[in-house]
Structure 1
Amino acid sequence: MLSDVRILDLTRLLPGGLCTLVLADLGADVIKVEAPGGGDYARARAPHLPGGEATTSSASFRGLNRNKRSVVIDLKAEGGPDALLALARTADVVVESFRPGVLDRLGIGYDDLRAVNPGIVVCQISGWGQTGPLSQTAGHDVNYLAAMGLLSHTGRPDDPPALPATQVADSSAGLFAATSILAALHERRRSGRGQLIDVSIAHSALMLASMTAAGVLATGEARPTAEGVWSGGAVCYQLYRCKDGWLAFGALEEKFWANWCHGVERPDLLGRRYDPPHSHTHQEVTQIMASRTREEWRRFSAAHDSCLTVVSGLDEALDSQTVRDRGMVHHLPHPGTPDGYRALGLPVSFSRTPPDPARLPAPALGGDSERLLKECGVPAETTRRPRMAGEI
């Protein structure tokens, strides 16, 4: 679908990696521009898979970087910026995740890129955005969730905020970046002009709280965690312990609550789904949930449409029938790894042009440097020449 789109990916780790993974699986020619030495930090991240190049043995790296090619350019070397600009002449998109201003100081910022390619789309992914009081402040996922108010709505009432097990802000930024790039490319078909996209990881996370934020914007007040439905303020939307694990209950609508009440033979609880925690209703529901095993509740849920789900481990989820039936886990080949490896695919289905996660294996560090630089007329050695003292 995107086979006519070339993307230069200057990012590392998750937000940019996820963004370009989506576009690569949809057919784009994604070229990772990596620094000499270690390249993308994800290459060194455990666990490592047996076989293949050492620089592609990381499960995390393979999971984010299939269908991409790799070129090594030292952007601080004397010929590095010129090599990047030469590649940019052939590209449609550049994605970068440096702190604001870094590429400008290197002479390869947006103005430099569009000078050699007026149609270039440049997507900048940064923690707090390119402008604002925090733009130069370091941060990670937990910092963005804290600053944007999302952590304050995690955990049970009276408990400390809970750390999410996945990178919520980083992932949302990657997906917003991919969507924005596609929109900019679509607009370029009409105007013939590229543009600059500024994606803030923190504010991408905030957008995930759209419904909750709408209530705060309407009233001027944030409801305490103990009162918010999404954060445990009602008995119908809670986590409950069962005999051998945990259950997620999401019976917000009366019909689902009624199905549960009739299923456990407690019609006296009808109409009580929004009772608060620590109420008599909460105590009753807690006791009922604790009286059965996970498997018993699975069978109950299959028989009674009540939005009741067993809390699975990630290993259980990956091996579940619903994940298998949707084709979410792919067995992918990799050079030097006879048995290949397993990785997640995109959670989308197209009737005519399905994504192809097996088009290219995750690249060795700089594995495509010679070919790509030669195509652009750049001698490989000029990308590694040290700068003079005092240069950026």
Structure 2
Amino acid sequence: MRVGEVAGADLQRFGKPLDGIRVLAIEQMQALPYATQMLARLGAEVIKVESPGLGDSGRGSLPSMNDPEGRKVGVTFLRNNMGKRSITVDLKNPEGLEIVRKLAAKADIVCENFKAGVAGRLGLGYEDVAKINPRAVYLSVSGFGNTTETPYAGWPAYAPVAEGMAGLYEFKRTPGVAPVVSPLGALGDTGSALFAIIGVLAALRHRDATGEGQYVDISMYDAMVALNDAGISYWSMGLKDPGLAPLINHSFKAFDGYLIIQCGRPHMFKGLAELIGHPEWVGDPRLTGPQDWFNHVEDIIRPGIEAWAADKTRLEACAALSAVGVASGPVYNPGDVIEDEHVKNRNMVVSMDRTDGVPDPVLSPGNPVKLSKMAEGPETRVPWLGEHTAEILRDELGLSDEEITRIVESGATG
């Protein structure tokens, strides 16, 4: 057994750090669902509130598969809702709203990602929940936050809106060429979700110490500003284009594709120059430091590196560079990532069998948080729309089968 490794039986004994924590999630699409899925992976029980009929709007995304009832389930939903239970409730129906309020009264974490002000108008805002459950941690994830004034209060926002407004699309943009939208997938969602998790865990720690819940208010715009730390700092120090940062931080062509090299220190440059057969670069007056290296990437450094790498695969070139202390890595496509040995060993791709006759499973990223005293998985599939409605009404609220039938027939639930 390796250092830090814990036997399987011991892992089961330890359980998971959020075992016993109950989450009520009134959520759509990705930013909040990604956060609550992570909480579920850490042991929390997540009840997902969806509208009858269409459910979470992420179910309508493309591409999609069919669930056992023949309803479409889109890829955004499939990758953000594993390990949850689904209850369908009409929040515009007074009895439906009361069901959600009763569930909120029993929850440790109540979370929503409506546009600013919508939760309050429904009677599900922070103040409303705090009155019935003062110990609850209340989480909002929205485009521009809820607790301070903002000129963007009424704006809807998806991931690229927050990314673009935060300046992320100006990194290395070619002058005169329009910004590339969503170059990193849904970073605005997943990045905001990570800050949401940090806030929730801190608030739970505070709740455990004081007995009081509090409001965790996450703005996607704020989160993306935080991720643009380098761009903002560079700008403040006179470097208006962060793509002009003085170092080698570029992609180079190898035999089977591209690799990334970042080199900003003299000892790394010496190792690079000697490895690729250009030891004279070390004493070249044109290449005295990081700014010079950057200035001469195209006319001196790129030709030297790419001539050396021309008969090497990306992995061969990166292994050689790493051996002399030069940071590098292959540029992969998603297929490469799925087949990567490291990714497999770390359980970083998980699968869910399809229910519509297609043999290949749906693949999604696994849990990147590895704890030495927490078992890995098991992952459970996403819930079908309203799959657990009766179960939740019975087990959580103590309703009889007759009461559940009446509520369903009334339209308060799906």
Whether these two folds match at TM > 0.5 is: yes
* Identity in percent: 26
- Alignment partner for residue 260 of structure 1, among 262, 268, 272? 272
- Alignment partner for residue 257 of structure 2, among 225, 235, 245? 245
Query: 1:74-116 CA deviation, whole Å, 9 max, x = no partner?
Result: 1111312211101111111111000111111112211221111
- Alignment partner for residue 17 of structure 1, among 33, 37, 41? 33
In structure 2, what is the equivalent of residue 206 of structure 1? 225
SS at match of 1:46: coil
Once the two structures are superposed, the pairs formed by residues 197-346 of structure 1 within 5 Å of their partners are 197-217=216-236, 219=237, 221=238, 223-225=239-241, 228=242, 231-234=243-246, 236-242=248-254, 244-270=256-282, 271-272=287-288, 274-275=290-291, 279-291=295-307, 292-293=309-310, 295-305=312-322, 306-332=326-352, 341-346=362-367
SS at match of 1:125: strand
Contact 1:330–1:343 (CA under 8 A) maintained in structure 2: yes
CA distance in 2, matches of 1:176, 1:224: 27
Q: CA RMSD in A?
A: 2.8
Which sits farther off after the overlay, 114-123 or 54-63? 54-63
Equivalent residue letter for 1:189: D
CA displacement at 1:261 relative to structure 2:
0.9
Query: 1:125-181 CA deviation, whole Å, 9 max, x = no partner?
Result: 100111311121122222212222222224357755333131222111101111111
CA displacement at 1:277 relative to structure 2:
8.3
- Structure 1 residues 278 and 62: CA distance shift in structure 2, 3 A: closer
Equivalent residue letter for 2:278: R
Equivalent residue letter for 1:44: G
Query: Aligned pairs, how many?
Result: 379
Which residues of structure 1 form unaligned runs of 5+?
Answer: 388-392
CA distance in 2, matches of 1:294, 1:44: 46
CA distance in 1, matches of 2:260, 2:384: 42
CA displacement at 1:268 relative to structure 2:
2.7
Equivalent residue letter for 2:281: L
CA distance in 1, matches of 2:43, 2:58: 22
CA displacement at 1:315 relative to structure 2:
1.2
CA displacement at 1:334 relative to structure 2:
7.2
In structure 2, what is the equivalent of residue 390 of structure 1? none
- Alignment partner for residue 194 of structure 1, among 201, 207, 213? 213
In structure 2, what is the equivalent of residue 74 of structure 1? 90
CA displacement at 1:262 relative to structure 2:
0.8
CA displacement at 1:244 relative to structure 2:
5.0
CA displacement at 1:296 relative to structure 2:
3.5
Query: 1:296-324 CA deviation, whole Å, 9 max, x = no partner?
Result: 34313212322232211111112111211
SS at match of 2:209: helix
CA distance in 1, matches of 2:387, 2:123: 26
In structure 2, what is the equivalent of residue 173 of structure 1? 192
Contact 2:61–2:73 (CA under 8 A) maintained in structure 1: no
Which sits farther off after the overlay, 257-266 or 331-340? 331-340
Whether 1:94 and 2:113 are equivalent positions in the alignment is: no
Equivalent residue letter for 2:190: S
Contact 1:15–1:170 (CA under 8 A) maintained in structure 2: yes
- Alignment partner for residue 363 of structure 1, among 379, 383, 386? 383
Contact 2:248–2:293 (CA under 8 A) maintained in structure 1: no
- Structure 1 residues 315 and 339: CA distance shift in structure 2, 3 A: closer
In structure 1, what is the equivalent of residue 78 of structure 2? 62
In structure 2, what is the equivalent of residue 141 of structure 1? 159
Which residues of structure 2 form unaligned runs of 5+?
Answer: 1-16
Contact 1:80–1:384 (CA under 8 A) maintained in structure 2: no
SS at match of 2:80: helix
- Structure 1 residues 336 and 279: CA distance shift in structure 2, 3 A: closer
Query: 1:324-376 CA deviation, whole Å, 9 max, x = no partner?
Result: 12221234567788986543211121112134242x32111111111212331
